[in-house]
Structure 1
Amino acid sequence: MRFFPKETNFFLLFEDYARVIEASGQLLLQLNKKANRNGELVKKARRLELKADDICHTIYQETNTSFITPIDREDIYLLARTLDNIVDLIENIISNINVYGIKKLEPNFKKFIDLQALTTKHLAQLINLLKDKEKHLPEIKKLIIKINYFENQGDELIREEFRLLFSDHKNPVEIIKWMDLFENIESVLDECEEVSYLVEDIIIKNF
């Protein structure tokens, strides 16, 4: 007879999330090669977004029903929610590029896409190290610093792009479209940085 419920491996669930995060970032990267064939990417992004929602729901459910969790429940909720935000933002970017009928990407947006692909890749590595955080502290610290550096680069890029958007006298509708896309992709980097801070807090609490 089982007196205690089976323990949920939350770290495996977060590793599933890491795979979805990296896959989403790589999917967005494909826009640099084929922005004019975005329709197929929209479907793939939607599938990844639904998968992320399923993982998030499972994490919430297991957190609510687990007798013991490896880290604070509040941290589990925050981490899952922020990771879900990243996938939602990427799906929204890919979808809106299609809705807006954009066939050619702004040069700085291409740079941003490259930057988010790097950031989401590093973030996935960071999440995968959570399970054995005590063994990988130096690697974790390096990844957190890199993610912060990428986010700072994003801040510089968006300032430059907004200056260009308004100085090039573009159609106001086009300006609105691009401002939305740039703000969303900057938010991807912001949320990645937020996850890195959450991981840092988790390590401090549990070391």
Structure 2
Amino acid sequence: MFFGKLLPREGNFFELFNHHADRIVEAARAFSQLVANYNDPHLREQYNRDVDNAERAADRVTHEVNKLIHKTFITPIDRDQIHKLINTMDDVADLIQDSAETMALYDVRHMTEEITRLTDLSVRCCDRVKEAVAMLGTLSQAASVEAALKSCEEIDKIESDADRVMRSAMSKLFREEPDVREVIKLKAIYELLETITDKCEDVANVIEGIVIEHS
């Protein structure tokens, strides 16, 4: 009985993963609203704060998970997988915040169709990440394995769509934008938004590895 008390319990890693995924989606949707309401300075500021708040909340979850790794004797999945998953997820939240901050720092004056399309794809990717993460706690069930892998496959398809939008956006930008400053600004924004979907694909790759190993 005494020895049992000395062994830290398994911990609530899956619950924390879900909390973090919720914050990613929260940040993505706030950023989407920022883009949709960009011409309204008050709403833009409000949604910028919402992105910041979601990113900070995600950071706190990441810190809690990394701390829990060192305090838990037996983890439900490999420690390296836990560490890689939570930190890759945190990169997604960071990139969303970086995108919002870059728009403000570069004083972007208007939203392009390409920014809107890349933002929509980023939100869809984040939604799929949340769905895949939610399956990790029940990988003993065949339906959860199938659902997780399906979400990961969808993330890969969305990332490919974002690549195509990015290439088209760059081509249009360099052909049609006469102001060099605007080219520099928009190029940076396009690259950041496309990187969000890239990082979501990285999360999906980690999840696929976990699913294959533990199902």
Moved more, 145-154 or 1-10: 1-10
Is it true that 1:84 corresponds to 2:90 in the alignment? yes
Contact 2:99 2:189 in 1 (8 A): yes
Is it true that 1:61 corresponds to 2:67 in the alignment? yes
Moved more, 98-107 or 43-52: 98-107
Runs of 4+ in 1 over 6 A off after TM superposition: none
1:108-153 CA-partner distances (Å, limit 9, x unpaired): 1101111111111111111111111232122112111111000000
Is it true that 1:144 corresponds to 2:147 in the alignment? no
Moved more, 152-161 or 171-180: 171-180
Who is 1:125 aligned against? 131
Moved more, 32-41 or 182-191: 32-41
Who is 2:120 aligned against? 114
Is it true that 1:103 corresponds to 2:109 in the alignment? yes
Mapping of 1:32-51 within 5 angstroms? 32-36=35-39, 37=41, 38-51=44-57
Contact 1:112 1:157 in 2 (8 A): yes
**Equivalents in 2 of 1:55, 1:76: separation in Å?**
13
RMSD: 1.2
Who is 2:168 aligned against? 160
Normalised by the length of structure 1, the TM-score is 0.95
**Equivalents in 2 of 1:7, 1:202: separation in Å?**
17
Who is 2:207 aligned against? 199
Is it true that 1:4 corresponds to 2:12 in the alignment? no
Shift of residue 15 of structure 1? 0.6
AA at the equivalent of 1:68? I
Q: Which has the higher contact order (CA 8 A, sep 6+)?
A: 1
Who is 1:14 aligned against? 17
Contact 2:155 2:201 in 1 (8 A): yes
AA at the equivalent of 1:16? H
Structure 1: tracts of 5 or more residues without a match = none
1:41-62 CA-partner distances (Å, limit 9, x unpaired): 2211111111111111111111
Structure 2: tracts of 5 or more residues without a match = none
**Equivalents in 2 of 1:43, 1:25: separation in Å?**
12
AA at the equivalent of 2:26? A
Contact 1:119 1:150 in 2 (8 A): yes
1:20-54 CA-partner distances (Å, limit 9, x unpaired): 01111111111342012322222111111111111
Contact 1:147 1:196 in 2 (8 A): yes
